[in-house]
């Protein structure tokens, strides 16, 4: 998995906790799942159907590891049901959550193309079922279909721009701005009531849980959000977007 190989079906800026979701059973369900993902959406029905034909399924138990840092990057995965945590560790031993992926999310796109070792780990947070596309099968399809290959190159360029923006955000923006942006992104994908822990939010924005808690408590008192057990509810998205310096809600 490359450094920008951790996003999900909702596009480069999104990805977050999801419990449940639409059904993606059978061949037709897999085609719908792939068609909803930015990586495949512009390829056309015939190409998506061909890609779906390459897939197999894999089941994971709760807390089972799908792959570890350093494992071969030899497949792409789509979440049919369940939840996957993508994470890594820092030099000082801290665990960092890069993304939380649920039904409909696709990950491992970059590894599907470059085959480099994974730079993060993927662990099932609950019983999870995945669709799997092996790299060798996908590259064989691209060798036969130049139009599909060109569209995928365009998507990867968008992915690189997204990563550049995220790196700038992580190094230049203060904690409250980073946290507001993450909550807005999660609410756009999963609604105003977001199932996420403060520890997970801290990992998302690269901060201590205590620091994140102080900001969240300030926002709760201001009526911007509400807090519950493993839950954040956005009550005033416009004010939260302003805190995140976002022009639109």
Nearest to 122 by CA among 91, 98, 104: 98
pLDDT in tens, 38-90: 777 777 788 888 888 888 999 999 999 999 988 988 998 989 899 999 888 76
Per DSSP bridges, beta strands 75-81 and 231-234 are unpaired
Joined together, the tokens standing for residue 155 give 């998507």
pLDDT tens digits, 123-180: 999 999 999 999 999 888 888 888 888 887 777 777 777 767 766 666 678 899 999 9
| Angle in degrees, CA 82, 15, 104, rounded to 5 | 45
pTM of structure: 0.63
Task: With H, G, I as helix, E, B as strand and everything else as coil, classify residue 145.
Answer: coil
Domains parsed from the chain with CATH numbers:
26-169 (2.60.120.10), 174-243 (1.10.10.10)
Q: Is 192 exposed, middle or buried (0-12, 13-18, 19+ CB in 10 A)?
A: middle
């Amino acid at each position: 998995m490359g450094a920008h190989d951790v996003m999900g079906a909702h596009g480069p800026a999104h990805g977050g906790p999801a419990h449940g979701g639409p059904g993606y059973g059978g061949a037709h369900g897999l085609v719908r799942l792939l068609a909803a993902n930015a990586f495949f959406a512009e390829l056309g029905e015939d190409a998506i159907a061909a890609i779906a034909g390459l897939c197999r399924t894999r089941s994971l138990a709760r807390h089972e590891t799908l792959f570890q840092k350093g494992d071969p990057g030899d497949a792409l995965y789509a979440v049919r049901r369940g939840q996957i945590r993508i994470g890594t560790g820092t030099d000082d031993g801290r665990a960092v959550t890069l993304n939380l992926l649920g039904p409909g999310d696709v990950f491992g796109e970059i590894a599907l193309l470059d085959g480099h070792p994974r730079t993060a780990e993927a662990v099932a947070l609950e019983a999870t079922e995945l669709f799997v596309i092996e790299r060798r099968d996908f590259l064989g399809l691209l060798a036969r279909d130049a139009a599909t290959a060109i569209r995928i190159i365009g998507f990867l360029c968008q992915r690189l721009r997204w990563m550049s923006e995220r790196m700038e955000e992580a190094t230049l923006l203060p904690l409250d701005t980073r946290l507001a942006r993450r909550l807005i992104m999660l609410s756009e994908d999963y609604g105003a009531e977001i199932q996420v822990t403060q520890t997970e939010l801290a990992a998302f924005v690269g901060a201590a849980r205590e620091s994140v808690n102080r900001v969240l408590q300030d926002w709760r008192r201001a009526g911007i959000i509400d807090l519950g057990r493993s839950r954040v509810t956005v009550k005033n998205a416009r004010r939260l977007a302003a805190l995140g310096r976002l022009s639109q809600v």
